A = this chain, B = another copy of it.
Amino acid sequence: MIQNAVGTPVSRVPEGGRARAGVTCGDCGLLAMCLPHGLDRKARESFEQCVRRRRPLQRGEMLYVAGRPAHSVYALRCGSIKSFVVDPEGEEVVQAFYLPGEVLGLEGLVGDRHDHFAVALEPTLYCEIPAHALAELVPRHLPLQRQLMRIVNRQLGESRRQSFIYSRREARLRLATFLLELARRRAARRLSSTRFRLSMDRRDIASYLGLTLETVSRGFSRLQSEGLIESRGKAITLLQPRSLAALCGVGDHE
C-alpha cells in the first residue's frame, strides 16, 4: 500500500548541523564499513566537514521519496530502513533492507532523482552526505573512490543474490536464506546472529521475497515445527543455523 508514501512527511529540517564533538566518523563503530573507511586523519576530517548528522527518524517516516530530487547520500547509524518501489497496481515492492553501517541513496551521485522510496522501520539515526560535496571529495581521495566502488559492487551482488533466491521457487528456502542473510549481516556488526528482533513485518518480508504474507507465516511455522528456528512474532531465534544453511546451500532433493 502506498499510504506511507503519501501520508508521511519526508524527513526535512535538520536538528543538528555539522558533526559535533563526540560524534565523529573517527569514533563511529561503523567506520570500517562506511564511506570514509581507509581515509587518513586529515582526509577524514575534510570528509566530516560534509557530514550532517540528522535528528532521528520515527518508525514510518520517509528518508526520501521516489521522483524527488536526490541531493544526498545516506549512511545508517542505527535502526533500519526499507527501500521499495510501487508497482503499477499500487502495491509496495520491497527492494532492500538496510542495517547500520550501510549506505543508501547512491543514485544521488549519478542521477538527479530518487527512483525508489526509503522509510524507517524503527527509530533510526543516519548521516547525510550532500552529493555535490561527496562528488567533489571523491576525485581527491583514492580510498574514498575505492570504498565507493566496493559499496556499489556489494549492493549489486546483494541484488543479484536476491534475484537468485527469487528464481528458486520454494518458499521455505527463500525464508531460510533471508534469515541467514540477516544473521550474517548482524554477525558482521558483532550483534547476535542467532537471536534477534525483526524490524519489518510479515508483509514486508513477503514483498521482499516475492511471496504472500500467509506463505511467509506458514514458512516460519514450518521452520519452527522442524525445530530449526523459534519464531514468536518478530522475535526470532535460529536454533539450528547449520541445518538452515544446509537447507539453502545444498539441494533439497532427497
Residues of A with Cβ closer than 8 Å to B?
85, 87-89, 93, 95, 106-107, 109-111, 115, 138-139, 142, 145-146, 148-150, 152-153, 155-157, 159-160, 162-164, 166-169, 207, 209-210, 249-251, 253
Nearest CB of B to A137, in Å: 12
Complex CA gap A87/B163 in Å reads 13
- By a CB distance below 8 angstroms, the chain B residues around A93 are 164, 167
| Residues of B contacting A210 in the complex (Cβ-Cβ under 8 angstroms) | 163, 166-167, 169
Q: Which residues of B contact A106 (CB under 8 A)?
A: 153
Known: A85-B164, A93-B167, A159-B163. A110 touches B142 (CB 8 A): no
Offer 26 A-B interface pairs, CB within 8 angstroms, sorted by A: A85-B164, A88-B249, A88-B251, A89-B251, A95-B163, A106-B153, A107-B153, A107-B157, A110-B146, A110-B153, A111-B153, A139-B139, A148-B149, A149-B152, A152-B153, A155-B156, A156-B156, A159-B159, A159-B160, A162-B163, A166-B166, A166-B167, A166-B210, A167-B207, A167-B209, A169-B210
How distant is the Cα of A163 from the Cα of B250 in the complex, in angstroms?
A: 23
Whole-angstrom distance between the alpha carbons of A233 and B250 in the complex? 35
**Are A115 and B166 in contact, with the CB atoms below 8 A?**
no
Contact partner of A115 among B111, B157, B169, B251, CB < 8 A? B157
Q: Which B residues lie within 8 Å of A250 (CB)?
A: 88
Bound complex: CA of A156 vs CA of B106, how far in Å? 11
Report Cα–Cα, A155/B152, bound state, in Å: 10
Contact of A139 with B149 in the complex, beta carbons under 8 Å: no
